[in-house]
Amino acid sequence: MQQLGVDSIGIVLMISFFIGAVICIQMKMNIQSPWMPRFTTGYTTREILLLEFSSSIMCLILAGKVGSNIASELGTMRVTQQIDALEIMGVNSASFLILPKIMGLLTMIPVLVTFSMAAGFGGAYAISFAGILTPEDLTYGLQHSFKQWFVWMSIIKSFFFAYIISSVSAFYGYTVEGGSVEVGKASTDSVVHCSMLILFADIFLTKILS
């Protein structure tokens, strides 16, 4: 079950690294101007990554990857009667199949989110070594009026998102009726609804936690 999260480490690191790099370039090229302090680029890059990208956007991406995986796996088990087989054995199929997924994501997604932050900063540094801005300016910017709370806020948000992804996609997969077409539909539906719920939850959580 931990497989769900562990398999996603690669994609999380890669996306975060590149987005971190791109945000850094954008900030340097398009936002920073001569009358702003030199740490602006690092500072804004950090805030974007911590406040929004590494938690919310990352979880939207994970809703696509992990959520559709959960929905189609459970959906296939349903239509091939594997869930019925569990029920006949006297196993409570819902808790047997869904609980480990929820627990798995609740532990893995916050970890992935911290990985994403690290990889994002890694991307920013890679850009600084490529010569667009000096690593010293970047370091200074990244540390400038740093609020530890933002990291915690991201992690707290990611718990909620993890719960949304696992429970919504498990619901769609578990309740499939029909055949392969319905499994495909459940998988898409779960991604759409996970994403919408994550976006709404993001608004409320941001309001409450800020």
Partner 1 sequence: MIEIQSIKKSFEDREVLKNISARFDNGKTNLIIGQSGSGKTVLMKCIVGLLAPTSGKILYDGRDFVAMSKKEKALLRREMGMIFQSAALFDSMSVLENVMFPLDMFSSMTLKERTKRAQQCLDRVNLSEAQKKYPGEISGGMQKRVAIARAIALNPKYLFCDEPNSGLDPKTSLVIDALIHDITEEYQMTTIINTHDMNSVMGIGDSIIFIKEGRQEWKGDKTQVATSDNQALTDFIFASDLLKKARQAFI
Query: By the criterion CB under 8 A, which residues form the site for partner 1?
Result: 77, 80-82, 84-85, 87-92
User: From CA 166, how far away is CA 38, in angstroms rounded?
Assistant: 42
Query: Which residue, 93 or 169, is less far from partner 1 as judged by CB?
Result: 93
**What are the distances in angstroms from CA 187 to CA 66, 140, 171, 201?**
10, 44, 10, 21
Number of other CB atoms surrounding residue 147 within 10 Å: 12
Closer by beta carbon to partner 1, 85 or else 208:
85
- The Cα–Cα gap between 25 and 31 comes to 10
Minimum distance from residue 89 beta carbon to partner 1 (Å):
5
Nearer to partner 1 (CB atom), residue 103 or residue 156: 103
Q: Least distance from C-beta 81 to partner 1, angstroms?
A: 4
Closer CB to partner 1, residue 84 or residue 136? 84
Least distance from partner 1 to the Cβ atom of residue 90, Å: 4
Q: How far is CA 34 from CA 30, 37, 71, 122, in A?
A: 11, 8, 51, 25
Is 24 in contact with 124 (CB distance < 8 Å)? Answer: yes
Tell me the closest approach of the beta carbon of residue 73 to partner 1, in angstroms.
9
